[in-house]
Amino acid sequence: MRSMATEGRTIVPAREGRAVRVAAGQRLSVVDLEGGQVGDVFAFVPVPEGTGEAAAPPEHLSAAHTRAVTNRLFPEAGQRFVTDRRRPVLTLVSDTSPGFHDMLIPACDPARYAALGAAGGHASCADNLRRALAGTGLSVPYTPQPVNVFMRIPVEHDGRLRWLPSASRPGDAITFQAVTDCVVVVSACPQDLVEINGGGPTALAVDLRS
């Protein structure tokens, strides 16, 4: 798995994505360097070699299965995120942001930008995921629903959703601890047609430490 960080800081340039291999017990922080930037976070647990399941897709962090475990719409410190096989993959350790993180909205993709009238070739979190995984040996035939850190989608009393600009400040960070070895992908969301990114798409950082 070349060009993947082990420890230290990985910059996720604006509108791009990066994959990081995380060992069980390591902590990974997503840092909003300039503030107001949404990050789409995906996590995958590779199928162990020699299990005869090499061709199976990796387990992925699943927002829906996590909701069924936490009985909450949105993440809170201390909770675990589980995979589509209901196995814990990450724990939310701490959060210095105002605490808005979304688990309802799918990754932006070419169809989303086409519907918004963007020219072809607009970057998307789904494409960023695909590119970031290309170097990891993992192949995922679908785009799991990500955890959208720093994304502010409040739910009204009647179940209606609102899309608001991110409220995170420069340097705000959300920190996860890996329960199991996994590959985490972070996409600095390139959305510039719906005002979810306060300051226009900017870079994020991923800090990995033992």
Which of 27, 65, 80, 131 is close enough to bind its own copies by CB under 8 A? Answer: 65
The interface mask with its own copies, positions 97-116, x = CB under 8 A, is -------xxx--x-xx--x-
Q: CA 204, 195, 40, 167 torsion: positive or negative?
A: positive
Q: What angle do CA 131, 6, 96 make, to 5 degrees?
A: 85
Closest distance of CB 47 from its own copies, Å: 12
CA-to-CA distance for 24 and 132, rounded, in angstroms?
21
Tokens standing for 93? 């350790």
52 binds its own copies (CB under 8 A): no
Cβ atoms of 77 and 91 within 8 Å: the answer is no
CA atoms 139, 52, 4, 94: torsion sign: positive
Q: Is 86 in the site for its own copies (CB under 8 A)?
A: yes
| Least CB distance to its own copies at residue 94 (A) | 19
Separation of alpha carbons 64 and 84, rounded Å: 8
Query: Is 120 an interacting residue with respect to its own copies (CB under 8 A)?
Result: no
Taking CB under 8 A as the criterion, the residue among 74, 81, 150, 176 binding its own copies is 74
Q: Which is nearer to its own copies, 8 or 141 (CB)?
A: 141
Under the criterion CB under 8 A, does residue 161 sit at the interface with its own copies? yes
Alpha-carbon gap, residue 59 to 162, rounded angstroms: 30
Q: Which amino acid is it at 171? A: G
Check residue 2 for interaction with its own copies (CB under 8 A). no
Which residues of this chain interact with its own copies, rule CB under 8 A? 56-57, 62-65, 67-68, 71-74, 84-87, 104-106, 109, 111-112, 115, 141-143, 145, 155, 157, 159-163
